[in-house]
Amino acid sequence: MYIADNIFLAAVEKATLWMKDLERSLGAEDPQTAYQACRAVLHAVRDQLSPEESSHLTSPLPLLIRGIYFEGWNPASNKPPAQNATEFFQLVMAYHGEMAILDAETMTEAVLFMLAVKVSASDLRSIKSMLPPYLSYLWPCIPLGLERA
């Protein structure tokens, strides 16, 4: 077996674990719903950050989740950031598409919870410090002792 095979298998396994946790958090019955929610929220978050901040935010993410974040990104597009949570949720829905099963608040809460549980406390503090205030307030509080993967 090639070394690359092991790297890709490990990347798939780790991303699958993250997405299964997100699927459970969303109460979804299929992985496609979790993927679409993850993609919509990560793309909306991405639009709030500079390229440097995006690079920092994604560094602790599994390879395939990082790929979802950067999928289709044009850093030169200079989209105006959302000015408040309502605009952010509208952006999440725009990325999710017209056939949304879940509302933007539910998707955002679940994706941010996944990140809060899976990313180290120091990385999480750093990520939250980059976000606009209305978005950093949306991050859930994680009970002490909740295991991070």
Query: How do residues 74-96 score in pLDDT, each as one tens digit?
Result: 988 878 889 999 999 999 999 99
In a domain, 91, yes or no: no
In a domain, 146, yes or no: no
In a domain, 144, yes or no: no
pTM, full prediction? 0.88
- Domain count for the chain: 1
Nearest CA-CA partner of 9 in 60, 61, 59, 64:
64
In a domain, 121, yes or no: yes
- Kindly state the tokens that stand for 23: 């699927």
Specify the pLDDT at position 147.
47
